[in-house]
């Protein structure tokens, strides 16, 4: 396919010669960095929407780096650009020698644009202006001469809602050009002396590409999500992102003045219609001491009030304020119009205080603790800031109070429910639900209202059925004669089973409507159907596909669309026998973008641990066997923590749709939980049904190809009888040795499987004779069959709880 682009190898050469990382190219093009890597290895081709911008970027590099043998410039982290309005300012020289022009803006924040003219730095045409002179966006040009004297730059946080330009302006490029590294200076600049090296993943995840225009360009400013503040060896301050200037003074008032200067700290919005989040400053124990703050959060109300007063007084000297409640995390902010500087807001995390304070303070910072925990078990601000930057780069949103709430924050970030519009007549802004957004309000229907809802209680009190679409729980059958003659029980677990179905699953958006004698459309309509599967024959060696307990149903019941469709297409169920249903008028792939972000973060984290797509079964087993052997490698330690966090986020998000919130009384729960947009039990039933059906489909195909079936299932952990303590003999393969799609296969991709444990079949038989489920033995044996104590396995045995989705 002719794309008009250089060959993949040349694309990579140009990037390396310029000292740019795939993440920097991706940030400029507002895409995922994995796409850049795929374009460079030839496994993917840029789409028509992004190819022109990518071509312009490569053309610019080719003009400056024509010789293949020319040595590449020393890589340097990208420098953030920030904008100030309405006064134009000249370029600022960063600590590492990079020149970052700050472009002129109109009063409404849009960029001043004019006729294309030669850029004063590189001579190439530019429609943008900096102090009235032609200048390129983002500094993507090598300065021809030393820049003129710089003046202090005031940064301003991005507006919450997109503001259209006051006057029509020429169309801007679709994407900004990335910051280009300048030649490395022979000696370190004074500003960067003593600074720690910046991590390689400091920029927030870019938003998706959107239409060109000044508003889109202005919103493309580069920010850092978090920075750690520490004390330099000789006193003063040092930051783990050296491109961010440190405070000149060491007193508490100086620190607040620094926070109020408009630092380039922000979590960028993940969608054009969404909102970004406040950036974060993480304090080390040494920084606390230098600021004169206590090493531990005060435990008494009097001492806490004294600390609050001290912080408030210091903040007030520069026109700033602090949160009403001070704890391990709080905000320092300045209101619009206050003296001392522009409106700003920064989140502060006092890492030594994490886990301290009252229940509310501990709850709001619960996810910060694992992010801040270093391999030696201590909390460390540098570790926290580094992992926080990676987290926001991967997912595009900052972690919330819990994994479940983070999942909802991510969904609202990548698929905003609300869009702001301006009334041209009155100038007033108003919000409305975007197309396909979930509405608020209690939309529950009786069969799918959730365990705590009054509608469910009423049905159960009458002895009527409710929807019971759940994961498989504790199913087992007797061993066949052939299975009983084998030596081992091999446990395999599905990796990221939820993410294997949520990408394209269509879910109901509005309320479900009751329909009698509904017409079946092949499974295109999401909803709940009253079906009787008691006479439908299924595979006897497998758990029943329609029930969570795996046993045949004893009567009719309510089933979600994925279950009904599978029973109809695979086992011949007659949909004409359905007498009633609750159906949705509108369905959308609600979790498509959500899944994409989580899947990308999940795969990146596991790639850092040596588990990637395309590995042979033997390669995967070898890499998984040393998964938790991270040693002192910070990259592997970070990846292990983040991979676990990402798994808990997608699992918690699925559970959030039917949140019981036991800490709330019934009335409060109805008002705050059941009426929220995020309480939709029927969505959870559809997802769980799709996951269970996908699992059954894989089990059935494997059975058809190999004659092997699991004799026990719990959630997505399967036990097979085997001759060796390895799952290799269970895998169906083609003649060329490649795995068969849709059947049991090993790998880290969602829907693939990992090896949990190998258990002597003798121990399994004894457990079953005691009427215990054999999956409970998974945690007592390693993958090589060696007995281990509960919670003391070698990292290769399963670590999942009995009632949760599997570990990966």
| Each residue's pLDDT tens digit, 759-783 | 999 999 999 999 999 999 999 999 9
584, pLDDT greater than 90: yes
Q: Label residue 735 by pLDDT band (50, 70, 90).
A: confident
423, pLDDT greater than 90: no
User: What is the average pLDDT across 284-289?
Assistant: 95
Cα separation of 42 and 35, whole Å?
10
Contacts of 547 (CB under 8 A, 6+ apart): 468, 553
Q: Label residue 602 by pLDDT band (50, 70, 90).
A: very high
What pLDDT was estimated at residue 25? 82
Contacts of 89 (CB under 8 A, 6+ apart): 102, 130, 131, 151, 153, 154
The tokens describing 46, both together, are 């840029």
Q: Are the beta carbons of 382 and 238 closer than 8 angstroms? A: no
Least confident window among 6-20, 335-349, 742-756: 6-20
Could you give the angle at the alpha carbon of 218 between the alpha carbons of 32 and 130, nearest 5°?
120
Q: Are the beta carbons of 356 and 296 closer than 8 angstroms? A: yes
Which has more pLDDT, 367 or 147?
367
How does pLDDT run across 533-564, given as a tens digit for each residue? 999 999 999 999 999 999 999 999 999 999 99
What pLDDT was estimated at residue 135? 65
Nearest Cα residue to 352 out of 266, 293, 265, 267:
293
Contacts of 102 (CB under 8 A, 6+ apart): 81, 82, 83, 84, 88, 89, 90, 91, 92, 130, 153
Q: What is the pairing mode between strands 266-267 and 277-278?
A: antiparallel
User: What is the average pLDDT across 720-737?
Assistant: 92
Q: Is the bond preceding 86 in cis, omega lying within 30 degrees of 0?
A: yes
- 547-570 as b/e, with b when 16 or more CB fall inside 10 Å? bbebebbeebbbbbbbbbbbbbeb
What pLDDT was estimated at residue 262? 85
Q: Label residue 419 by pLDDT band (50, 70, 90).
A: confident
Q: What is the pairing mode between strands 226-231 and 280-283?
A: parallel
Could you give the angle at the alpha carbon of 658 between the alpha carbons of 329 and 418, nearest 5°?
65
What pLDDT was estimated at residue 96? 33
What pLDDT was estimated at residue 316? 93
669, pLDDT greater than 70: yes
What pLDDT was estimated at residue 172? 32
How does pLDDT run across 566-580, given as a tens digit for each residue? 999 999 999 999 999
How does pLDDT run across 378-397, given as a tens digit for each residue? 999 999 999 999 999 999 99
User: What is the average pLDDT across 656-679?
Assistant: 92
Query: In the chain, what are the helix, strand and coil shares in percent, each to the nearest 5?
Result: 30, 15, 55
How does pLDDT run across 453-498, given as a tens digit for each residue? 999 999 999 999 999 999 999 999 999 999 999 999 999 999 999 9
Please state, as a whole number, how many other Cβ atoms lie within 10 Å of the Cβ of residue 143.
Answer: 20
Least confident window among 62-76, 223-237, 336-350, 756-770: 62-76
Q: Label residue 117 by pLDDT band (50, 70, 90).
A: confident
The tokens describing 10, both together, are 């040349």
DSSP summary character for residue 177: P
76, pLDDT greater than 50: no
Q: What is the pairing mode between strands 344-350 and 280-283?
A: parallel
297, pLDDT greater than 90: yes
How does pLDDT run across 169-216, given as a tens digit for each residue? 333 333 333 332 333 333 333 333 333 333 333 333 333 333 333 333
Nearest Cα residue to 547 out of 599, 487, 472:
472
**What average pLDDT is seen over the chain?**
80
What pLDDT was estimated at residue 476? 96
What pLDDT was estimated at residue 222? 67
Cα separation of 213 and 210, whole Å?
9
Contacts of 303 (CB under 8 A, 6+ apart): none
Q: Are the beta carbons of 367 and 388 closer than 8 angstroms? A: no
Q: How far is CA 323 from CA 310, 406, 620, 698, in A?
A: 13, 21, 48, 52
Q: Label residue 122 by pLDDT band (50, 70, 90).
A: low
Q: Label residue 618 by pLDDT band (50, 70, 90).
A: very high
Nearest Cα residue to 120 out of 111, 110, 130:
130
């Amino acid at each position: 396919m002719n794309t008009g682009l250089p060959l993949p190898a040349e694309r990579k050469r140009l990037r390396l010669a310029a000292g740019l990382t795939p993440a920097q190219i991706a940030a400029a093009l507002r895409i995922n960095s994995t796409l850049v890597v795929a374009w460079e290895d030839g496994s993917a081709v840029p789409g028509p929407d992004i190819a022109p911008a990518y071509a312009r970027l490569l053309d610019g590099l080719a003009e400056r780096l024509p010789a293949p043998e020319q040595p590449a410039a020393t890589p340097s982290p990208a420098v953030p650009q920030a904008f100030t309005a309405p006064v134009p300012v000249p370029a600022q020289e960063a600590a590492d020698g990079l020149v970052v022009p700050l472009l002129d803006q109109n009063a409404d924040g849009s960029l001043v644009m004019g006729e294309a003219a030669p850029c004063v730095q590189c001579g190439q045409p530019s429609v943008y202006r900096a102090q009235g002179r032609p200048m390129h966006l983002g500094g993507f040009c090598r300065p021809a001469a030393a820049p003129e004297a710089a003046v202090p730059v005031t940064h301003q946080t991005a507006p919450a809602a997109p503001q259209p330009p006051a006057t029509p302006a020429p169309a801007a490029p679709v994407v900004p050009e990335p910051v280009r590294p300048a030649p490395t200076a022979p000696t370190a600049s004074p500003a960067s002396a003593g600074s720690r090296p910046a991590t390689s993943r400091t920029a927030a995840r870019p938003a998706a590409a959107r239409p060109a225009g000044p508003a889109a360009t202005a919103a493309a400013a580069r920010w850092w999500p978090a920075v750690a503040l520490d004390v330099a060896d000789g006193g003063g301050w040092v930051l783990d992102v050296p491109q961010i200037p440190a405070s000149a003074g060491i007193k508490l008032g100086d620190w607040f003045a620094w926070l109020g200067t408009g630092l380039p700290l922000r979590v960028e919005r993940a969608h054009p219609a969404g909102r970004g989040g406040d950036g974060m400053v993480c304090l080390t124990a040494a920084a606390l001491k230098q600021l004169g703050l206590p090493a531990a959060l005060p435990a008494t109300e009097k001492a806490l009030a004294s600390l609050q007063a001290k912080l408030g007084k210091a903040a007030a000297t520069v026109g700033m304020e602090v949160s009403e409640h001070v704890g391990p995390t709080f905000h320092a902010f300045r209101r619009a119009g206050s003296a001392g500087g522009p409106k700003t807001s920064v989140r502060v995390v006092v890492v030594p205080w994490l886990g301290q304070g009252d229940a509310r303070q501990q709850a709001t910072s619960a996810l910060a603790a694992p992010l801040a925990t270093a391999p030696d078990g201590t909390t460390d601000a540098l570790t926290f800031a580094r992992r926080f930057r990676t987290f926001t780069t991967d997912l595009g949103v900052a972690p919330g109070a819990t994994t479940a709430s983070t999942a909802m924050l991510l969904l609202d970030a990548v698929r905003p429910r609300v869009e702001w519009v301006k009334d041209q007549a009155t100038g007033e802004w108003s919000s409305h639900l975007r197309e396909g957004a979930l509405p608020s309000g209690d939309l529950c229907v009786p069969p799918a209202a959730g365990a705590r809802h009054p509608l469910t209680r009423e049905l159960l009190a009458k002895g009527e059925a409710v929807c019971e679409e759940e994961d498989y729980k504790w199913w087992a059958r007797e061993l066949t004669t052939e299975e009983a003659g084998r030596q081992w029980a091999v446990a395999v677990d599905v990796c990221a089973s939820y993410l294997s179905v949520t990408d394209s699953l269509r879910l109901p958006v509005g309320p479900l409507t009751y329909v009698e004698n509904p017409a079946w459309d092949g499974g295109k309509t999401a909803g709940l159907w009253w079906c009787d599967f008691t006479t439908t024959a299924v595979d006897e060696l497998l758990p029943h596909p329609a029930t969570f307990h795996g046993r045949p149903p004893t009567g009719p019941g309510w089933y979600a669309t994925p279950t009904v469709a599978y029973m109809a297409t695979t086992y011949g169920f007659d949909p004409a026998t359905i007498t009633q249903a609750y159906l949705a008028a509108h369905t959308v792939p609600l979790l498509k973008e959500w899944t994409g972000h989580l899947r990308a973060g999940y795969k990146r984290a596991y790639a850092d641990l040596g588990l990637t797509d395309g590995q042979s079964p033997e390669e995967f087993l070898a890499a998984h066997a040393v998964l938790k052997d991270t040693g002192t490698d910070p990259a592997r330690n970070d990846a292990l923590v983040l991979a676990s966090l990402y798994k808990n986020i997608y699992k918690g998000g699925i559970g959030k749709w039917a949140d019981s919130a036991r800490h709330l009384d019934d009335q409060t729960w109805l008002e705050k939980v059941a009426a929220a947009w995020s309480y939709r039990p029927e969505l959870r039933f559809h997802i769980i049904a799709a996951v269970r059906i996908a699992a059954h489909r894989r089990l059935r195909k494997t059975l058809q190809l190999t004659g092997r079936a699991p004799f026990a299932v719990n959630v997505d952990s399967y036990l097979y009888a085997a001759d060796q303590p390895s799952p290799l003999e269970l895998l169906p393969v083609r003649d060329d040795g490649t795995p068969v799609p849709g059947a049991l296969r090993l790998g880290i991709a969602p829907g693939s499987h990992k090896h949990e444990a190998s258990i002597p079949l003798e121990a399994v038989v004894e457990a079953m004779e005691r009427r215990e489920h054999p999956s409970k033995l998974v945690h007592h044996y390693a993958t090589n069959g060696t007995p281990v104590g509960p919670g003391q396995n070698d990292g290769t045995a399963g670590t999942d709880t009995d009632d949760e989705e599997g570990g990966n």
